[in-house]
Structure 1
Amino acid sequence: MISRGFIIGQLIDDLALLQQKITFRNKIGYLDLTKVCEDFFKEILNVILDFNLSNLNANRSNEPGLDLGDLHNKIAVQITSQRKTEKINDTLRKISNENRLIYDRFIVFIIGQKQNFYAIDPALATTNNFDKDKDIIDIDFLIKNIAVADELKLTALQGIFRREMRNVVVELEPVNSEGDFESSIYNFIETVPNTPPKNTAVYDRFYSAPSHQEYFLKLYNELAEIPRAQREYIAVIAERGNLNDRNRYEIHCTKLASILGVPEEKLFKSLSYLDDINIVRFDKNSDEFERANNKYVIRPEELNTLIKYLHEASINIRKTIVTLNFSILQEDEQN
């Protein structure tokens, strides 16, 4: 069972990470927050302070400067990453008579760390019944309350963080000039290979055969469309399989599953994409004793021809098929 101390430590670490990201954003001038961030902290405040806040973005024209509102407790909250006195005074200045009829208390929640001192305009403070010592809160305030929260609140907070943390982290990352950010999934996507063979002189000379450039160019383009992880399966079959009587490389399903250390059912699902595009076919068979003799068979003629050449010329199959290094087929043009 996860201990109370572990949960508190995890939540505090996550808040510290958010505080760090906000500090960095502010330094480079990224001050605006999104609805994702507002909703995340709305849920945290609701749990910690027993509020019933809702997002006021839909009524922004009627609630200038206010992000969250709790009609039952008559509390409104401005969420901001800006911690300076001018921001607090500006928020108070925008509160209307209509707002004051709806809410009795106005809180400014700073996503970061508040200043040690605020020179709040006395008139604005009086008009809005604003106490700078109680109504300006920050992430440190959340941390202190988490440290003394009961088990029910900790469980609720843990669920919020588990569900929303990544989205908030992404939203707080500054976007670069290319429209990208640090945790973008595009940073983990394989770049589509685009270095087709310029010629096949080395291959042609090995077999004393005429040019096969168009033949292998077609194969290169087909493999380039296949994700790298799937090309790895092809390479393993090519390396560990055998050439059958139809001049196709194949491997027993049980053998491949054992090599990869995965159950056959899971392997079947993993290779379903290659089967769908007719690159590696699942051949269901049985031997004379009616025992399963299922195999994975590499189908395209061009691919089997290439694999046979790689074996005979003692060339690295993995490097050629997985990284699509077809330079092994070509000869530098200046030569």
Structure 2
Amino acid sequence: MLTRGIIIGKVVDDLASLKYQIETRNKLGQFDLSKFCEDFIRELMNTVYKLNLKNLNTTRSNVPGIDLGDEKNKIAFQVTSQKTSAKINDTLSAITQDQKSKYTIINVIIIGEKQTSYTLNTALTSEFNFTETNILDLDDILRQIVVLDIQELNIIYNLFLREFRQVRIELEPIDENGNFESSYFNYLEAKPTSPPKNGVKLIGPTDEKYYKETFKEIMKVYDRLSNVPRVTREILAIIVDRGRSGDSYLDGGKFNILPATLEKLLGLSSNEIIIEINILENANLVYIDEDEIGGRSAHFLYINGEWLNTLFYWMRDEGLSIRTLLNTMDFSILDE
């Protein structure tokens, strides 16, 4: 069971990173918050303050004055990343007569850190009994979180696990090229860029009758391998090194291995092996077929394709490292 310290530590760290991110956005003049962010704050506030807030922008886009409302408790919130006095005054001046009749308490929650003091329009503040205590920020919410019971802390912990990464993504500044810090593109392996130029060491002279057709097949092999994660490509090298084979592709057929052997060799679960096989199979690099072991039928994992098998036989005969090739994807070793 998670302790109070672990839960509070995570919330403190996440809110600190959120404050930094908001400050960065504000410096760039980006103050807008998405509905997703408003919904995250709504769920957080409902747990922390035991409310039943609803997102008023769900039924009507950009409701003036306020974003979240609890009609039963007659309390409403404007959610904003802007902390200025002007923003507070603008919020109060935008509240409609209908909202005044539904909500007797108006609060502003700053997603970030509020100012130490405010210069507010006294005509507006008196109308709503609004004081600086009605301006909350993330530190105010955190002070309430640390005194919650463990059941409520668990609700908040699960909320942060489930939603916080998306909140950060929603709030990240995007540059002119559409890049942002948490983009999955930042985690992609660089796609290999060293295809063969002629491949003549493997397929023979360029003036041979079937050279062009054969070179196209080698390029297809390169492209298929390029679209598979590097660690998954290594399984092909393990099949060659630890599996069954003949003296050549024509003599012994395709390299193959029992999936159960891979499972034992790599210390992976059956499900993990299935995932790796699915990736390779989707790229047309392997397939599964039946064969016999001691007269009994069994399923084997085969390396697929004439030219991929031929490449591996050639490299084995030449004493070249198949693992190195699959890691570097430097197919210039086939060139003269």
| SS of residue paired to 1:14 | helix
Deviation at 1:243, TM superposition (A): 1.9
* Match of residue 220 from structure 1: 222
Of 249-258 and 297-306, deviating more is: 249-258
1: distance between equivalents of 2:63 and 2:219?
A: 62
2: distance between equivalents of 1:247 and 1:200?
A: 22
Give the counterpart letter for 1:213 in structure 2. Answer: F
1:142 is aligned to 2:141: yes
* Match of residue 315 from structure 1: 320
2:289 to 283, 286, 299: 283
TM-score by length of 2: 0.88
Deviation at 1:219, TM superposition (A): 2.3
Give the counterpart letter for 1:155 in structure 2. Answer: N
**Aligned residue pairs: how many?**
327
| SS of residue paired to 1:177 | coil
* Match of residue 151 from structure 2: 152
CA contact (8 A) 1:71 1:103 kept: yes
1: distance between equivalents of 2:62 and 2:145?
A: 33
2: distance between equivalents of 1:150 and 1:78?
A: 27
1:257 to 263, 270, 291: 263
2: distance between equivalents of 1:27 and 1:304?
A: 57
Deviation at 1:165, TM superposition (A): 0.9
2: distance between equivalents of 1:85 and 1:301?
A: 72
Give the counterpart letter for 2:55 in structure 1. Answer: N
Q: Any residues of structure 2 matched to 1:1-335 within 5 Å, and which?
A: 1-60=1-60, 63-132=63-132, 134-203=133-202, 211=211, 213-244=215-246, 245-264=251-270, 266-275=272-281, 278-288=284-294, 290=296, 294-331=299-336
Give the counterpart letter for 1:255 in structure 2. Answer: T
CA contact (8 A) 2:7 2:157 kept: yes
Deviation at 1:281, TM superposition (A): 2.4
2: distance between equivalents of 1:25 and 1:281?
A: 50
**Deviation digits for residues 4-40 of structure 1 (CA, Å, limit 9, x no counterpart):** 2222222222111211111111122211111111111
CA contact (8 A) 2:224 2:284 kept: no
| SS of residue paired to 1:106 | strand
**Deviation digits for residues 121-153 of structure 1 (CA, Å, limit 9, x no counterpart):** 111111222112x20010110111111112232
| SS of residue paired to 1:152 | helix
Deviation at 1:65, TM superposition (A): 2.3
| SS of residue paired to 1:178 | coil
| SS of residue paired to 1:285 | strand
Deviation at 1:192, TM superposition (A): 4.4
2: distance between equivalents of 1:236 and 1:50?
A: 57
CA contact (8 A) 1:250 1:297 kept: yes
CA contact (8 A) 2:65 2:96 kept: no
Q: Which runs of 5+ in 1 are unaligned?
A: none
CA contact (8 A) 1:235 1:322 kept: no
2: distance between equivalents of 1:218 and 1:45?
A: 55
| SS of residue paired to 2:308 | helix
| SS of residue paired to 1:109 | strand
CA contact (8 A) 2:230 2:326 kept: no
CA contact (8 A) 1:239 1:317 kept: no
2: distance between equivalents of 1:150 and 1:326?
A: 61
Give the counterpart letter for 1:235 in structure 2. Answer: A
Give the counterpart letter for 1:115 in structure 2. Answer: Q
Give the counterpart letter for 2:177 in structure 1. Answer: E
1: distance between equivalents of 2:307 and 2:88?
A: 70
2: distance between equivalents of 1:32 and 1:137?
A: 18
2: distance between equivalents of 1:265 and 1:39?
A: 36
Give the counterpart letter for 1:136 in structure 2. Answer: I
CA contact (8 A) 2:224 2:283 kept: no
| SS of residue paired to 1:149 | coil
CA contact (8 A) 1:63 1:99 kept: no
**Deviation digits for residues 78-136 of structure 1 (CA, Å, limit 9, x no counterpart):** 0111111111111111112222111111100001111111011111111222112x200
Give the counterpart letter for 1:64 in structure 2. Answer: P
1: distance between equivalents of 2:173 and 2:56?
A: 25
2: distance between equivalents of 1:294 and 1:59?
A: 56
